[in-house]
Amino acid sequence: MRDTEMSSKRMGSRFSRLSIVIALSASALLSVVGPAHAAPAKDPLPADIPDYQAALDAVKSTDVRNAVCRFLSTPVPTGGAGGPVQTIPETAEPCQGLPVFTIKDPLARNEITPGFVQGTAKPLPTEAVKLTQLVSSLSTTVNGRNVTVMLAPTQGGGWHLAAIRDGDIDATYAGKATLGTLVFTEPQIRGWYQLKLTTVEPLNDEARQGLGGQASVSLSDYQKLVKARYADKLPGSEYDTNGYSSGYSSQRKADDASPSTLLLAGGSSAALALAGGAAVLRRRRRAGTC
C-alpha cells in the first residue's frame, strides 16, 4: 500500500512538472508568434478609445445637439453633385418643434491605413487598420431622417464634431463588431468588412465586389487587392499631382459622403453649411477648409 502511495505521488509530481513545461512552452510560443497573432483583432471598447469620456461629453453637449437640430431643420439639397452649398441658419432654439431624440454613444470607425495600402505595413490587424473617427446615430428618425454625428480627434487630446451627414450607415456597420472581431471600411468603394483574426469578410455588396465575389480572403490577399487599387494614387503620386484625385488618405471622406453632409469650417457654429454632393466636399478639401 505504501509503495502504491509513493508511486502515485511520483506520478502526480511528473504530471505537475509536465503541466509547467506545457505552460512555459505555450508562453514561449506566444512570445515568438507575437501579440498580433496571439490575440484576435477586435474593435476598441469604450475603455480602449482614447479620451472616450470627451467623446461622450461631445455628443451630449448642447452645441452638438443644436448643430444636429439645425441640420434636421434644413431641407436636403436637391442639386446633387456640384449643387449649391446651403448655409444652416442660426436660431435661438434650433431644436424647437422637433421630436425628442437622443444621440447614441459613439462607436469606433476604423479604416485601412495608407501604409497597408502602399505595402510598407505588414498584413497584421494592428498595422492594417486604425481608428480614424467616432460615429453616433440618433435614437429615432426625425422628420423622416436619421443622421450620423462624426467626431474627429482633437490635436492634443479629446474629440470634436467634424461633420453631420444624412443616414446611419457608418454607425450601423460600426455596431456589427462582435467580441474578438473588428469592423473597418474601405471608404473609396464604400465597402465595409469584418476582420476575424487575419480573415477579411465582406459586410455589404460593395465589399463583396471589392473581394471579387469571394466570401472571404486572408488579410495578406486583401492587402494585394487594395495595393493594386490605390498604391499609385497616394498623396504625392503622379495621379494625385496631375489633379485626378485628392490622393488617398485615411481621412478621405469624399467618396463615401451621403447626398448631404454638414461641414464645419473653423469650428464655428456660424460656419456650418450643408453641402449638396460629394463634389463640394472635394473642392473644399482641395482648398484646405475641410
Instruction: Read off the pLDDT of residues 53-90 as tens digits, 9 standing for 90 and up.
Output: 999 999 999 999 999 999 998 877 665 555 666 677 67
> How many angstroms from the chain centroid is the CA of residue 240?
24
pLDDT of residue 22 exceeding 50, the answer is no
Q: Which whole number is the average pLDDT over 148-170?
A: 94
Does residue 248 contact residue 228 with C-beta atoms inside 8 Å? no
**Higher per-residue confidence, 15 vs 105:** 105
Of the candidates 116, 138, 77, 66, the one whose C-alpha atom is nearest the C-alpha of residue 281 is 77
Q: Say what the pLDDT of residue 78 is.
A: 66
Nearest-angstrom CA–CA distance, 228 and 222: 10
Average pLDDT estimate for 143-166: 94
Residue type, 169: I
pLDDT band at 116 (very low <50, low <70, confident <90, very high): very high
pLDDT higher than 80, residue 142:
yes
Instruction: Indicate the Cα dihedral angle 166, 200, 105, 50, nearest 10°.
Output: -120
Q: What is the mean pLDDT of the chain?
A: 75
Q: Contact at 8 Å (CB) between 267 and 160?
A: yes
CA separation for the pair 173, 175 (Å, rounded): 5
Query: Of 19-33, 59-73, 273-287, which range is least confident?
Result: 19-33
Q: Is the model's pTM score more than 0.85?
A: no
pLDDT tier at 287, thresholds 50, 70, 90: very low
Report the distance separating Cα 80 and Cα 76, nearest Å: 10
* pLDDT for res 62: 95
Give residue 226's pLDDT: 95
Residue 70 CA to residue 89 CA, distance in Å, equals 7
Q: Which residue has the higher pLDDT, 96 or 38?
A: 96
pLDDT at 107: 96
Statement: residue 21 has pLDDT above 60: no
C-alpha cell at 288: 484646405
Matching residue, cell 443644436: 66
